[in-house]
């Protein structure tokens, strides 16, 4: 629905809005999971933050090295996830 709506109004909607919308949806998904007692998904949390940051950078016309930041973020997630499971 979001993609279709943005395509319909592409002449008036800035290009970074799809990433902003996707980031907000992924972060909202994690919030709902957390409130329902399911915990959060580290993968979709990282994707949501990256999408939101890249979309906001695009709206502000600022360069954002999304690939480099994504590699660092996923590397940190690989290191942190086993430590979080051990705390349980």
How do residues 14-49 score in pLDDT, each as one tens digit? 888 999 999 999 999 999 999 998 887 888 888 899
Token readout for 83 is: 């430590």
Tell me, what's the pLDDT at 49? 92
Domain boundaries, the chain: 14-87
Q: Please provide the average confidence, as pLDDT, over all residues in the chain.
A: 87
Q: Give the mean model confidence (pLDDT) for residues 10-16.
A: 85
12: exposed, middle or buried (C-beta count within 10 Å: 0-12, 13-18, 19+)? Answer: exposed
Q: Give the mean model confidence (pLDDT) for residues 8-18.
A: 87
Q: Give the mean model confidence (pLDDT) for residues 41-70.
A: 88
Residue 28 backbone dihedrals phi, psi, to 5 degrees: -65, -40
Identify the sign of the CA torsion 70, 72, 74, 80.
Answer: negative
Tell me, what's the pLDDT at 87? 62
């Amino acid at each position: 629905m979001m993609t279709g709506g943005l395509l319909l109004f592409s002449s008036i909607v800035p290009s970074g809005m799809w990433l902003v919308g996707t980031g907000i949806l992924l972060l909202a998904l994690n919030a709902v999971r957390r409130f329902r007692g399911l915990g959060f998904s580290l993968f979709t949390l990282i994707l949501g933050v990256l999408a939101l940051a890249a979309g906001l950078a695009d709206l502000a016309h600022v360069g954002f090295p999304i690939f480099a930041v994504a590699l660092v973020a996923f590397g940190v997630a690989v290191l942190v996830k086993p430590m979080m499971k051990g705390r349980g």
